[in-house]
Structure 1
């Protein structure tokens, strides 16, 4: 865990911590009055993301998710409370997106050469296709899950977002009212900085060979996530394919969308919905975003290779710069 601290002109202390998790890095930047112990908070942050990784990773054979993948069909299995929460949210978003978001794609992800089990079937159960939203039953109160068929669950489209929400929960519980936390491209902000400014984040231009800024988003009390086809890719005889799987076809998503950025009250929802909109494509995706009142920015590849934009709600209203509305104190779940 790395740390940097500086004092601002207004007297507030700026603290920045980061560390490895989920094959990427978590980051946390906050402002406080100097009375808190950053290392104590840092240990809580490490514990929070470590718990999510230990429960939901497909890279750890002994994770709760992988044990569930190997568990017998037709029986109730106990799971940690947070895993039950994420599984239930994934099913809700799967239904809302008509199956465009499907956590049953684990075997397909491996078949197409991505993820922890790329090209292999060890540790994975089920057929070569996703099994949909009606093959998993969740008893949230009892923290139990029952599989109705063999399946290979993969939470890579939602777990990082939940991890970001857990980071936010740690800082909320510490009474910190101004922070920005993130894992990879999923971020969540609380409050404003001491100078009164919102937290500014860049939306990346979806180009595989370089990093550049497409637009800037201002965050206050909300989360942001981006899904794209330009980082995790591989070359095949049929050309370049993305890691995003379309559960409806059983293959990599193929449409004009280069990336989708979503604003939502929680990073978990933003993460999963960005994936769903990416799969649905520009027309169905825009329709779903508008139906559910989502703030979404689609960056599309035109026939001539030039980028085009399509946006909804705050993105459309503020020329690609958006500030989320305030959410309730319980919004970190």
Structure 2
């Protein structure tokens, strides 16, 4: 299962805004439209955003290839700036753009660098899938037989290069016979859990139950949740992390009920340049995402809206961090520096 395909001179993206009702693939040859697709959540999930942006850099280079070197470099700088502005929180976007900038320079800095850019984008894509599979293996070792797992938002194959981070753990654990049930928070306001996670799990034949976000506490109190696995959009070097809005609340509930709580991420999502979660920029999205649903108004006209896309969970609420280098336990700052610093 994947949501991103490079086609040699174009990029195909699975339009995630249309799932689960329709599976629609759109072709892109213009990097500006890829930036817009990232903004509109056609492609979403930190690793997938980084991969899509890397391929968008290739599209920009192909568009500019008939320009002289100076014009080419100026155009590439504009493209990178526009792509970087598409979404501010997911660090994979900036990590991928930095890699593509280095590949451009190493390839000569002009149109002659296009093959090197394509190779680098394809490498970013392959590496993400490889990291996901390693993450799945390490995470599955944490899952006891008959586990009932809660997840929030979508950290699956379509949020990555393929296989998934949190859902990669679920997939690997299910293959080993360890999963009795996965409870999917619907994930307001855009329902990524209901629309995307439930869709992925059902396609893979993994037992799944959809719940509203407000039901998680009740299920935990009834002893129906054994552990929590969810994704990450940016982690600071002390282990604080940003993920889909509502994650912090799930973490507090898990801590109160004594339930193991894990975030699952590749190293490309760790930002060692920031000391803690206070330095993570949180994207504020369109109020209409809260006041309307499927084009239908659900709130009074003129009501004030707060719509942050993410919240920051303090590292003290984490049981562990699952990465492609293994499972990290406290003290998180020391271990992250050891492995990724």
TM-score (norm 2): 0.29
Q: Could you tell me the TM-score, scaled by structure 1's length?
A: 0.29
Which has the larger share of helix? 2
